[in-house]
Amino acid sequence: MTFPERFVRRMQGWLGPEAEPFLQALSGPYRTGLRVNTLKIDPEAFRSRSPFPLSPVPWCPEGFVLEDLEARPGLHPYHAAGLYYLQDPSAMAAAILLDPQPGEWVLDLAAAPGGKTTHIAARMRNTGVLVANEIQPRRASVLALNVERMGVTCALLTNETPQRLARRWEGLFDRVLVDAPCSGEGMFARDPEAIRAWSVERVRRSAGLQKAILTEAARMVRPGGWLLYATCTFAPEENEGVVDAFLRAHPEFDLVDPPRHPAFDRGRPEWIEGGDPRLVRAVRLWPHRGPGHGHFYALFRRRGEERPHRPGPESDLPGRVRRALEAFWEKTLEAPLPEDGLILRGDHVYRTPMAPALWRGLRVLRPGWWLGRARDDRFEPDHALAMALDPRRVRQVLELSLDDPRVAAYLQGHPLEGPWEEGWTLIALEGFPLGWARAERGRLKNLYPRHLRAIGWWEA
């Protein structure tokens, strides 16, 4: 793999004798990371059934590296069931360093495609409030699909600018993640376009954008709260340089020295002019020192200790919609219907984790867990509802094993022969939901979403 000559010279100047192993590691081969979704399965339980050989990611208990370079884990039914997310091991450190706690309010400011968002949700155990924002509409749609697949129910998805969010949500969050857009040097091994697009000018433009985003993000951190800045690049202008400028402009924030794994390198204040000595508290991950292709992290804490007033969401469903939802729930599920946060948006029924007064007027892609649609006097469940259910709490389930040919048939959208009792049926793979079907006249009408039907492991 050929890198831009100026990029090579820069890295040789900074890394010295480490530059050669760094460049070799960055050249690949790319090793896929796999993070187990602990909302659905324990890491060791997954490892015992994994169809792929795995080795652990040292800093992430739920993280693994695929040993088989020819494996195609994105095509496997376990992926469709949301048992794992394919994520670079370096990126898995974000949720570890941010350390979100159950019940907290957390903002992921640049969330697509959803790897860090879904990791945060799992660490929060699907409680509290998680706002996942993505400014690019197309990427926001991908974010929604991944949140859905992983069974996340505590998230509100927005499609907004940091400036508009900061004006609305001053000092609201316990923890904020800024996974900043960057020059993407850590992506070189898997994205040739990142190599072609690289230039020092792009590095400098990225640094300017990052400073602006970080400034807005800081406004949304409550006193006593935490702010994590992350990039997937090695350029000190975008890393230590941005952090140094932030510390000078925001004395109310301290740069924290987080718990360190041996593979976590320190920040490099000597790589920028007049660098603050505190920059050594930042974290650098290098492709030649551990699994993954590199990240930079800086963890801040805002001084003080003040918790904002954050009202809980109340349910506000029209009577006919409430009655239809209750009828579906009683007939289909054994779990109690949630009492808080049930709202209607258009004909969509959601359970929102945040009082609508806090987000009304913003561009909201999904205000919470999408339960389904209200159609006249009936309720039709959505795929997002299915993916977050425990099949043991569903009255009618078709349980399939991995070697059952009906798994492929279902994921391809084919009807399944019965006989079956009339009504909604959850299709499950070895105890994990795949989606809905509806029994009609003795056969199961396949309701697996059309946009998810694709080639799978059975045809690869």
The DSSP secondary structure of 90-123, one letter per residue, reads TTTHHHHHH---TT-EEEESS-TT-HHHHHHHHH
3, 347, 370, 429 from 383: Cα distances, Å: 43, 15, 8, 15
Distance, in Å, from the CA atom of 94 to the CA atom of 106, rounded to the nearest integer, reads 13
Radius of gyration of the chain (CA): 23
Distance, in Å, from the CA atom of 53 to the CA atom of 66, rounded to the nearest integer, reads 6
| The pair of three-digit structure tokens given for residue 239, joined into one six-digit string | 């890393």
Q: Is 182 a catalytic residue?
A: no
Burial of 418 (0-12, 13-18, 19+ CB in 10 A): middle
Cα 423–424–427 angle (5° rounding)? Answer: 135
- Sheet with 443-446: list strands edge to edge: 397-400, 423-429, 432-440, 443-446, 416-417
Q: Which of 60, 154, 182, 232 is catalytic?
A: 232
Q: Give catalytic residues, as residue numbers.
A: 232
